[in-house]
Amino acid sequence: MKMSIKELAKLANVSVTTVSLVLNDKPSRISETKKKEIKELAKLHDYQPNFSARNLVTKTSKTIGLLMPDIENLFFSALAKNVEDELRQNGYSLLLVNSDDMYKNDISLIKNLVNRGVDGLLLTIANDAIKHKAQYETLLEDIKTPYVMVDRTLGNPKHPQVYFDNQLGGYLATKYLIDQGHQKIACLISKDKSLNGYYRYKGYQKALKMAHIDLNEQWVFDGDYRFQSGYHMADRLVSQQCDALFAGNDLMAYGAIKRLKELGKKVPEDIEVVGYDNLEFSKMLGLNLPSVEQNVKALGKQSVALLMDLMKNQAINRTIVLEPTFKKD
């Protein structure tokens, strides 16, 4: 049976607070002899600290909550791994929650993390958050827990945030296709349901305009960053005789490529496809998918560093915009 902090305190004939201060090496007026006795008893009985007891005294859990929209997407699982590496170096544990890319889950999960006593929050909010800004603004106003918005934001500089320049990413991807000689370039993006998607679309628009290529709205397709979006729109690429596709992330690019091959089309010979996120998956599968890279190591590092600063001084408020790069092999 696991020994509780209360039983250990009784055994050592001291209070729970004393045990917690001693085992957490907090400053106290307890004698060295008594400290040694408490630590020996804890070791003898294999006492394992219970975080809720630890919170009672230290008021910290040494845990950071990480909200993510889709941990099946390698972009987010890679980001979570890099965040955890950074947190571990700062002496913190990670509590990861997944929203299935739905704002309603975001709101309840954020409240849940705060109620569990995390010391800070890293928030990658759902795509549809942008349609429910008021709910987020109210919630983020109310919580006292320091937070950083990561990768996805509400477009409001009052929130501490770290993300990539999505318009530059969309521009780089589309310019690459133009430079390859393509004129009928389709775009698969969630421009109305995602702020990142909207800015990637703006980059697509900018590249076409700078090359004096008319934008044909019929070649702009709605996607949700998932494989099926790409798979189910690919037939229209063929029927509308597009010669290239900018997909707003690699999963949608994979879906489009799979369907194009089922339709007997060669990629890139018949239709060239570029993606976004430059997932390791492409290399593992030997798939030469040119893609916009968002360095998740840098994103994780900068996000955790900003949160650590915020936890020391909540007056800090920084927006950090990182630059994506285009990788073609």
> Which residues would be at the binding site for ligand RIB (CB under 6 A)?
73, 75, 151-152, 196, 225, 249, 276-277, 294
CB nearer to ligand RIB: pick between 20 and 153: 153
Q: In whole angstroms, how close is the CB of 124 to ligand RIB at the nearest point?
A: 7
Position with the least CB separation from ligand RIB: 249
CB nearer to ligand RIB: pick between 110 and 252: 252
Q: In whole angstroms, how close is the CB of 250 to ligand RIB at the nearest point?
A: 7
CB nearer to ligand RIB: pick between 63 and 278: 278
Say how far residue 189 (Cα) sits from the centre of its chain.
18
Q: In whole angstroms, how close is the CB of 122 to ligand RIB at the nearest point?
A: 14
Q: E strands within the chain? A: 63-68, 93-98, 120-123, 147-150, 161-164, 185-189, 220-222, 244-247, 272-276, 291-293, 319-322, 325-327
User: Which tokens in the block code for residue 194?
Assistant: 């995602």
Q: In whole angstroms, how close is the CB of 170 to ligand RIB at the nearest point?
A: 11
CB nearer to ligand RIB: pick between 54 and 152: 152
Give CA–CA dist 127/131, Å, rounded: 9
Q: In whole angstroms, how close is the CB of 309 to ligand RIB at the nearest point?
A: 23
Q: In whole angstroms, how close is the CB of 22 to ligand RIB at the nearest point?
A: 45
Over the range 285-294, which residues count as b (16 or more CB within 10 Å of their CB) and which as e?
A: eebebbbbbb
Give φ, ψ of 116 to 5 degrees.
-80, 0
CB nearer to ligand RIB: pick between 54 and 200: 200
CB nearer to ligand RIB: pick between 16 and 71: 71
Give CA–CA dist 317/147, Å, rounded: 10
Alpha-carbon torsion (69, 75, 77, 80), positive or negative: negative
